Amino acid sequence: MCGIVGYAGRRQAAPILLEGLKKLEYRGYDSAGVAVLDNGTLHVMKRAGSVEGLAPAKSFAGNVGIGHTRWATHGAPTEENAHPHIFGRIALVHNGIIENMKQLKEECLERGETFISETDSEVIAHLLDFCYEGDILAALKKTAARLSGSLALAVISLEEPQRIALARRASPLVVGRAEDGVYLASDIPAIAAKGMKVYALGENEFALLDGKEAHFYAEDGREIEKKPLDYAVEEDVPEKKGFRHFMRKEMSEIPLSIANTQQILRSYPKISALREVLCHAEYIHIVACGTAYHSGLCAKVAFETRARIPVEVAVASEYRYRDPVIQRNTLVIAVSQSGETADTLAAAELAKRSGATLLAVTNVRYSSLARLSDLVLFTAAGREIAVAATKSFNAQLTLLFALAEELAMAKGRGGCGAELFSLPELAQRALASSEEVRAWTPHFLSAKSVFFLGRGADYCVALEGSLKLKEISYLPSEGYPAGELKHGTLALIEKGTPVVAILTSSRLAEKTMNAVHETYARGAKVFLVTSLPEYRKREEILSSVLIPDIGEIYSPVLSVIPLQALAYYVSVARGNDPDKPRNLAKSVTVE
């Protein structure tokens, strides 16, 4: 998945493209490139690495241009594989995956054409040039009909110096109309400015930008009128505010993100519609990916315990191809920080087609998921820049736990007694004590593998702790149900293996400690995150962090904080950039 941007208008295109690309880097930062049209001359610059490498392109003259920041799918993150791809009279930027690339490429090779990259996108430039008869939109329509897979495409021709043609299928694309010209991008914040009218391209739609106007077309070629989206310009461009990394800064914002999310819920305008849906829900499916999937797992514990309603939590990429059983009165909750994750969107679409009520939990107001869903609950975590999700996870949990309480009420079960309203303050305390994990770092630096153990809600958090450590420290690690360890995985424990146990349930604590003891007996170094002070003194424990007690079901929102901190400190100590881990991107818009 990648970010694309474009401009046609009165201003110089290059600075606009570079600024837009910087804002799109959360979608990929392997390589980047721009192409600017200047009265029939094409100025092109591509670089391996981040958008910063394109700084010299700022001086390119020309009022029409396209740009791209890449997350490599086909081909390594090299300059050759960077976009824009150029062939004949055509230059293009592409986000998505072309599934029939091999067959199309063979056709081009038979015509004697040569390729310079290993990407699937380059083949589109060849096809476009082949179809081109002086009308870029017509060529794009013909070409798109031959492509299988996903695409957001912005295309220019050397022969039409004022125009950019666009196509969208399963990859987001928005167009902004402003007084000085027409903009395009993979998402709204990359281009949005005061007074701009922003339009989202629908599935299989096309557009033609001519420097003044944007024209939109349905799949069958009809020109269509579009209503501008209702959006607010983000005034605050996130900064590190004295922190070395965004991840650490975003962790410091966890209490605020919890408090703001609680506030949003209190003033939710569709509360009666939501209560109605909850009242009738007999089954719940939660679909999500990565960290959002883990918040779904934590929510399952809460929903089932508090409301006694069966909950299935599915990894969206599995759910979408599984033909899931969606019964009457199934509520499907799609959880996604970005609201743009391709697999989550596909799973949500499937649920909707199958007649389920679709509730989105997302951090991005104008996201594709928000637009697709019957009801939307926003987490108010604020913009999250670091690839590793932190404050957005705590906000998702806050929201889902509040939903569990609503659901319990709708099912006639009383309040749980947990002081959810004091969560922001408790999170602040958990943050403060999390600093102690810094001292654990040396034990992890060159570990062959790391294990996170827990039971019940603690197990769900173990999975998240492990994911966090993997993605930014690159250490192999596993989150495991404590009781399951002896059925095979215990074989991996060696002298010095770091084991992190999560212990917040007095009901399950001794059971988890059995497993902890088994690892200790085999030489593991055991670290503990707990709300139960009596366990800190146990002989098995090398070091521990005490977090406030909020009760077993809702503990994940606090117990995850020391694990996020651990991942951060280990990552930094290993010399990694926790904000931009290798091979990853913030938003995964391809499947």
Residues that bind ligand M6R (CB under 6 A): 289-292, 336-338, 341, 344, 387-389, 467, 471, 587-588
- The CB-side HSE value for 133 (13 A sphere, CA atoms) comes to 5
Considering beta carbons, is residue 381 or 418 the nearer one to ligand M6R? Answer: 381
- What is the C-alpha separation between 306 and 554, in angstroms, rounded? 11
Tokens of 259: 């408090």
Least distance (Å) between residue 348 CB and ligand M6R: 11
Considering beta carbons, is residue 245 or 525 the nearer one to ligand M6R? Answer: 245
Considering beta carbons, is residue 143 or 473 the nearer one to ligand M6R? Answer: 473
The residue ranges of DSSP E strands in 158-292, in sequence order, are 164-169, 174-178, 181-185, 197-200, 206-209, 214-217, 223-224, 283-288
- What is the C-alpha separation between 377 and 274, in angstroms, rounded? 10
CA distances from 25 to 1, 66, 167, 242, 385 (A): 11, 15, 21, 21, 9
- E strand or H helix at 50: none
3-state secondary structure of 45: strand
- What is the C-alpha separation between 85 and 66, in angstroms, rounded? 11
Tokens of 314: 């599915």
Considering beta carbons, is residue 389 or 546 the nearer one to ligand M6R? Answer: 389
Tokens 């007690």 sit on residue: 549
- What is the C-alpha separation between 100 and 497, in angstroms, rounded? 46
Please, what is the Cα angle at 492 between 578 and 478, to 5 degrees?
35
In terms of DSSP bridges, do strands 450-454 and 498-503 run parallel, antiparallel, or are they unpaired?
Answer: parallel
Question: Residue number with the shortest CB distance to ligand M6R?
Answer: 290
Q: How far apart are the first and last CA of the chain?
A: 9
- What is the C-alpha separation between 18 and 47, in angstroms, rounded? 13
Q: Identify which of 159, 579, 541 has the alpha carbon closest to the alpha carbon of residue 385.
A: 579
Considering beta carbons, is residue 87 or 293 the nearer one to ligand M6R? Answer: 293
Report phi then psi at 169, rounded to 5: -150, 115
- What is the C-alpha separation between 332 and 347, in angstroms, rounded? 9
Catalytic residue among 2, 108, 289, 298: 2
Q: Three-state SS string across 108-145, please? A: HHHCCCCCCCCCCHHHHHHHHHHHCCCCHHHHHHHHHH
Tokens 């290059």 sit on residue: 14
Spatial CB neighbours of 38, under 8 Å, sequence gap ≥ 6: 60, 61, 62, 63
Least distance (Å) between residue 27 CB and ligand M6R: 11
Buried b (16+ CB within 10 A) or exposed e, 580-590: bbeeebbbbbb
Considering beta carbons, is residue 363 or 504 the nearer one to ligand M6R? Answer: 363
- What is the C-alpha separation between 344 and 556, in angstroms, rounded? 23
In terms of DSSP bridges, do strands 181-185 and 223-224 run parallel, antiparallel, or are they unpaired?
Answer: unpaired
Is 2 catalytic? The answer is: yes
CA 103 to chain centre: 31
Least distance (Å) between residue 286 CB and ligand M6R: 12
Catalytic residue among 23, 249, 525, 586: 586
Query: Is residue 282 packed enough to be buried (19+ CB in 10 Å), middle (13-18) or exposed (0-12)?
Result: exposed
- What is the C-alpha separation between 363 and 56, in angstroms, rounded? 35
Is 586 catalytic? The answer is: yes
Catalytic residues: 2, 586
